[in-house]
């Protein structure tokens, strides 16, 4: 039995999405920008996808731009908006973000720093929530953009987005949020949130890889990052990915309708896992105990190495990760930048695994995982303590 518990890295396509995606691939060959039947047939579906996504997050049709995923949406928001206000607001040269963002934002902001922008990385509390008092001091009339993630990818903490958007409105700066980890897990009334821009990625909510979107509030200035055939109102050139966006829209619609049901199911399972951890002892749950995305657990075990635990579990067909999947590529002793920013001691950081539940999990799988977790931690502790 394979048990996949790494749904923050990516989610498998829902079975009905697999069928639907394949059907669209074969039935909609036309270029959505062509004027003949094939083209208009594809255009119709493309428009339906955009309207569906707009409805799911309570915004208007023309406030959605389709992208190749979360990374592109983040880059488009930051670089595109700054480019657009460069001449109209030359005094706004400050870009504010948090120290626990995804690399797509962190690296973009660092690049902006090299281009001459003043960049600020706001600290977070030990719970992984951005320091709102610090933001209050920093967000001012010199600020161009503030970008704070909706929910963190390693520890799952949900940030006070509503509060931050109020600060940004007062200071007259733009506010972007990377909602890649929250979309489909937390109800999204984006209009009510007060953000100017919001990024999402389909493969985190059971849609296909290689497709995502950027919400951009009407009136927010944006220049394109890609130039070409003028697709998406000239803001994102490139032939429309009709099957991708249709499958994404369908997935988001299904997932949005079941947020509450899944929340309750995940609550039961995370309680069970945390109870197992209590028996194991010497386990710390990272991040805020309440303000978190349902089904996300970052667990630090004393006296063992997280990579060894991940390896042991992997041999018994269980997939968890150590930090975020992107970080597993590089060998860094410093470990997770998120846990480091939360002042988590290095020994704990090295003993951390991330467990993120998803739609494909079952009671039987969680029972199996809890048994194996207890067995492997005991084994590894015997290896380190004798």
Residues in contact with other proteins by the rule CB under 8 A: 303-305, 307-308, 310-312, 314-315, 319, 328-335, 345-347, 350, 382-386
Q: 9 or 173: whose CB is closer to other proteins?
A: 9
- Name the residue among 261, 273, 202 with its Cα closest to residue 12: 202
Q: How far is the CB of 284 from other proteins (least distance, A)?
A: 15
Q: How far is the CB of 78 from other proteins (least distance, A)?
A: 21
CB 109 within 8 A of CB 115: no
Q: 174 or 301: whose CB is closer to other proteins?
A: 301
Q: 22 or 379: whose CB is closer to other proteins?
A: 379
Q: 141 or 375: whose CB is closer to other proteins?
A: 375
Q: How far is the CB of 204 from other proteins (least distance, A)?
A: 18
Return the DSSP state at 80: I
Q: 231 or 372: whose CB is closer to other proteins?
A: 372
Phi first, then psi: what are they for 376, rounded to 5°? -75, -40
Q: How far is the CB of 111 from other proteins (least distance, A)?
A: 13
CB 174 within 8 A of CB 215: no
Q: How far is the CB of 350 from other proteins (least distance, A)?
A: 4
Phi first, then psi: what are they for 159, rounded to 5°? -90, 155
Beta bridge partners of 199: 178, 214
168 is catalytic: no
Q: 131 or 307: whose CB is closer to other proteins?
A: 307
- Rounded Cα distance between 178 and 69, Å, is 11
Out of 81, 168, 173, 326, the active site residue is 326
- Rounded Cα distance between 365 and 118, Å, is 48
For the record, the structure tokens of 310 come out as 């991940």
- Rounded Cα distance between 125 and 141, Å, is 25
- Rounded Cα distance between 160 and 382, Å, is 42
Alpha carbon separation from 154 to 79, 144, 191, 221, 338 (Å, rounded): 25, 27, 27, 31, 7
Q: How far is the CB of 214 from other proteins (least distance, A)?
A: 28
- Whose tokens are 């979360």? That residue is 70
With b for 16 or more beta-carbon neighbours within 10 A and e for fewer, the 103-124 pattern comes to ebbbebbeebeeeebebbbbeb
Catalytic residue numbers read 326
């Amino acid at each position: 039995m394979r048990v996949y518990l790494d749904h923050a890295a990516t989610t498998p396509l829902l079975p009905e999405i697999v069928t639907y995606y394949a059907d669209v691939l074969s039935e909609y060959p036309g270029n959505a920008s062509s004027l003949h039947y094939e083209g208009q047939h594809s255009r119709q579906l493309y428009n339906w996808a955009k309207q569906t996504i707009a409805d799911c997050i309570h915004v208007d049709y023309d406030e959605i731009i389709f992208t190749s995923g979360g990374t592109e949406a983040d880059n488009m928001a930051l670089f595109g908006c700054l480019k657009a206000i460069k001449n109209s607001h030359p005094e706004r040269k400050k870009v504010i973000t948090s120290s626990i963002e995804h690399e797509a934002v962190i690296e973009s902001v660092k690049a902006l720093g090299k281009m001459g922008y003043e960049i600020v990385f706001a600290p977070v509390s030990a719970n992984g929530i951005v320091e709102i008092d610090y933001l209050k001091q920093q967000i001012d009339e010199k600020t161009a953009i503030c970008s704070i993630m909706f929910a963190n990818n390693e520890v799952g903490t949900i940030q006070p987005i509503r509060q931050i958007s109020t600060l940004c409105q007062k200071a007259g700066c733009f506010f972007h949020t990377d909602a890649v980890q929250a979309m489909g897990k937390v109800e999204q009334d984006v209009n009510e949130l007060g953000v100017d821009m919001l990024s999402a990625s389909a493969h985190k909510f059971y849609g296909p890889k290689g497709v995502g979107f950027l919400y951009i509030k009407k009136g927010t200035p944006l220049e394109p990052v890609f130039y070409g055939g003028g697709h998406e109102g000239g803001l994102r050139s490139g032939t429309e990915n009709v099957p991708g966006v249709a499958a994404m829209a369908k997935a988001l619609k299904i997932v949005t309708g079941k947020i509450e049901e899944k929340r309750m199911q995940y609550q039961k399972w995370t309680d069970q896992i945390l109870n197992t951890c209590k028996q194991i002892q010497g386990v710390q749950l990272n991040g805020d105990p309440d303000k978190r995305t349902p089904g996300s657990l970052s667990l630090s075990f004393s006296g063992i190495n997280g990579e060894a635990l991940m390896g042991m579990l992997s041999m018994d067909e269980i997939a968890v990760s150590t930090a975020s999947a992107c970080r597993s590529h590089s060998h860094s002793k410093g470990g997770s930048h998120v846990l480091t920013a939360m002042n988590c001691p290095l020994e704990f950081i090295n003993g951390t695994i991330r467990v993120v539940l998803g739609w494909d999990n079952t009671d039987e799988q969680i029972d199996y995982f809890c048994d194996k977790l207890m067995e492997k931690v005991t084994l590894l502790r015997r290896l380190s303590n004798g």
